[in-house]
Amino acid sequence: MSRDYFLDVADYNLWASGIAISWLNQLTNQQWNQVITSSFDSVKQTTLHLVSAEKIWLDYWQQVPNPVFLSTQFEGTKEDLIQIWMQTSAALKEFVQVYPPENYQQSVRFSWRGVEWQMAFWQTFAHFINHATYHRGQLVTLLRQVGFTNLSSTDLATYFRMRQPLGPTLSECL
C-alpha cells in the first residue's frame, strides 16, 4: 500500500466525518439524547463511541502512554464532542502525512477489552476506517429515527467520484 492510498483514505474519513458533523450541528438536544434501540442507545452515545475509537487509535499509533477510551470519562457537551472529533480527524490526516511508509508493516500494540493485542499498522488503519464508516452508517439510521432527514451520501465511491477531474460537483452527488 502506498502513502497516497493512506492519504486518500484519511482525506475520505475527514470529509465523511465533516458531513456527519454538519448533521449533528443541526440536531436539537432532544434528538441528540433520544433513546433508541441500537448498538448504542442514542445519537449521542453512537457519536461518542465513534469519536472515542478514532481518538484512541490515533493515541495507539502515536504511542501515547496509557491511552484512555474517551467515552469512559467524557462529560462534555455535544459541541465539545464535535470539537474533539474535528480535531482528531484533522490530526489523523496530519499523522498519516508524516508516517513513514516503511512502517506500514510494523506492529501496533493496543488493548481491547483488557487484553493486549498487536497488529500491523496497515491492518489497524483499515479497521479504523471500516469501523468509522460502519458507525457513520448507524448514525444515518439513528438520525432518521429521531426525525432528521437532511442527509447526504458519505459513501467512499461518492467521495472518489467527487474528486475526479471534471467529475460531478458535491451538489450533484448529494
pLDDT tens figures, 66-100:
898 999 999 999 999 999 999 999 999 999 999 99
Please tell me whether the overall predicted TM-score, pTM, comes out greater than 0.75 for this model: yes
First to last CA, the chain: 30
Q: What is the enclosing helix (H) or strand (E) of 101?
A: none
What CATH topology corresponds to 3-173? Four Helix Bundle (Hemerythrin (Met), subunit A) (1.20.120)
For residue 135, say whether it is annotated as part of any ligand binding site.
yes
For residue 131, say whether it is annotated as part of any ligand binding site.
yes
pLDDT digits (tens, 9 = 90+) for 124-158: 999 999 999 999 999 999 999 999 999 999 999 99
For residue 127, say whether it is annotated as part of any ligand binding site.
no
pLDDT digits (tens, 9 = 90+) for 11-63: 999 999 999 999 999 999 999 999 999 899 999 999 999 999 999 999 999 99
89: left (phi over 0), alpha (psi -120 to 50) or beta: alpha
174 pLDDT tier (thresholds 50, 70, 90) = very low
Tell me the C-alpha distance between 110 and 92, whole Å. 17
Q: Enter the C-alpha cell of residue 40.
A: 448504542
pLDDT given at position 171? 53
Tell me the C-alpha distance between 127 and 43, whole Å. 22
Task: Check: CB of residue 162 under 8 Å from CB of residue 168.
Answer: yes
- DSSP-derived letter for residue 1 is -
